[in-house]
Structure 1
C-alpha cells in the first residue's frame, strides 16, 4: 500500500506527510497527536472513498456499521501511536481491539496480469479494516518500538514511523518542521555573527 498524504495547515499551506505506515495514515483521518486535522469520516461514503483511494483492489461500499468499526479501530491506533511515541504503556483494550480486527480475513495480495480471477472480485470493508489492523500489529511490534516517534519540531508533536535506514528521521516533514528548524538555525547563526 502506498503511504503518505497531503495536509493543509490552518494558514492554508499544503505539505506532504509520510507517516511511514498505512495504519498511521488511517489514524490521521481523525485527530492524532498535535496535528489538528479535520474529521474525514463523517459518513459511510467518506470511508468508502478513503478505502478506494488507497487499496489497489476494489473494496465494497461501507455501511453505517462499517463506519462505526472503522472509527473504533482508528481511534485505538491513534491512542497507541501517541503512547508508543512518548514511551507510555499501551492500553490493553486498544491492543485487544487491534488484535480482534487483525484476526479476521484481510484483503489478499494478488499479482496483476493473470487471466483468471481468484477469489472475490470486490473485497469487503471488514477485510480492508483487517489489513489496516495487521499493519498496526507490525507498527507496534518490538521491531518498530524505537521508530515510532514524535516530530522534533518545538511546536509539533506529529507522530510518525521512522523508516529511514539509519533511523535518523527527526521531522514530520522537511517541508514543514525541518524547514522551520533550518530557518531558525540560520537566523541564530546570522544574529550571532552580527553580534560578534
Structure 2
C-alpha cells in the first residue's frame, strides 16, 4: 500500500502529478506507487477528484485503466512538449477517456449585489469517472501554450515531470527543496573532493 508521502504534488498540473505516480522511470523496474485499487482511490481522493463518500474501486480493471491512461498521458505530453505529435492511438485513448468525464457543475456567487459565475467544480462519484477528469486535464494541457513549459527534472536520479512556471522559464528541478538542493550538495561535495586531490603549485 502506498502512503500519502509517496506521492509528489510538484507537477503543476493534475495530469502531471498523475504521471508522477510512477517513480524512477529511468530504472529497469520503475517504482509503482499505485500498487492496488485502494492506492488509486486514495490518490484520487487526495487529488480532490472523488466526491466525499465515493466508493473505492473493488476490482483491478479500474487500476489497469488508470495505469494505461497514466502512460498515455506521459507519452503524449512529452511528445508535444518536444514539438512532435502524439501517436494516433494515444490521441484516441485520451479522447475516449476525456469523454467519460462528468459535466462540470457551474457555480454562482453574489458579488456587489449581483450574481456572477464563480467557476466550476468537477468531482466524480466513482474512480473511473475521476480518471476521465485527469484525461480532460491532459487534453487541455496538450492544447495550451503551457505544453512548451513541461520539463523533466534535471536530477539524474529523479525524472519527475513538471510545468515550469518560473518567470525566466529556466526551472530545472521538480522541487528545489528536494532535487535541487540534493544536486547542489552533491556537486559541491564532488568539487571539494577534487580540490583535495589537486596538487598545489
| TM-score by shorter chain over 0.5 | yes
Distance in structure 2 (CA, Å) of the matches to 1:156 and 1:173: 10
Matching residue of 1:72: 68
1:151 pairs with 2:156: no
Question: Equivalent residue of 1:18, what SS?
Answer: coil
Deviation at 1:17, TM superposition (A): 5.1
Matching residue of 1:60: 55
Deviation at 1:157, TM superposition (A): 3.1
1:34 pairs with 2:36: no
CA contact (8 A) 2:124 2:130 kept: no
Matching residue of 2:140: 138
Which segment drifts farther, 88-97 or 57-66? 57-66
CA contact (8 A) 2:10 2:174 kept: yes
User: Any residues of structure 2 matched to 1:72-91 within 5 Å, and which?
Assistant: 72-91=68-87
Deviation at 1:106, TM superposition (A): 2.6
Larger radius of gyration: 2
Distance in structure 2 (CA, Å) of the matches to 1:134 and 1:31: 23
Once the two structures are superposed, residues 111-138 of structure 1 have per-residue CA deviations (whole angstroms, 9 ceiling, x without a partner) of 6xxxxxxxxx971223211111111112
Distance in structure 1 (CA, Å) of the matches to 2:139 and 2:156: 30
Q: How much is the aligned-residue C-alpha RMSD, in angstroms?
A: 3.6
Deviation at 1:165, TM superposition (A): 4.2
CA contact (8 A) 2:152 2:161 kept: yes
CA contact (8 A) 1:19 1:25 kept: yes
1:108 pairs with 2:108: no
Once the two structures are superposed, residues 15-59 of structure 1 have per-residue CA deviations (whole angstroms, 9 ceiling, x without a partner) of x65011111111222257438753233332222222222226223
Question: Equivalent residue of 1:145, what SS?
Answer: helix
Question: Equivalent residue of 2:162, what SS?
Answer: strand
CA contact (8 A) 2:66 2:131 kept: yes
Deviation at 1:7, TM superposition (A): 4.3
- Equivalent residue for 1:94, pick from 86, 90, 93: 90
Structure that is richer in strand per residue? 2
Q: Give the TM-score of the pair, scaled to structure 1.
A: 0.69
CA contact (8 A) 2:24 2:157 kept: no
Deviation at 1:88, TM superposition (A): 4.4
**Aligned residue pairs: how many?**
178
Q: Name structure 2 gaps, 5 residues minimum.
A: 108-122
Q: Give the TM-score of the pair, scaled to structure 2.
A: 0.68
Change (3 A) 1:89 1:189: farther
Change (3 A) 1:108 1:92: same
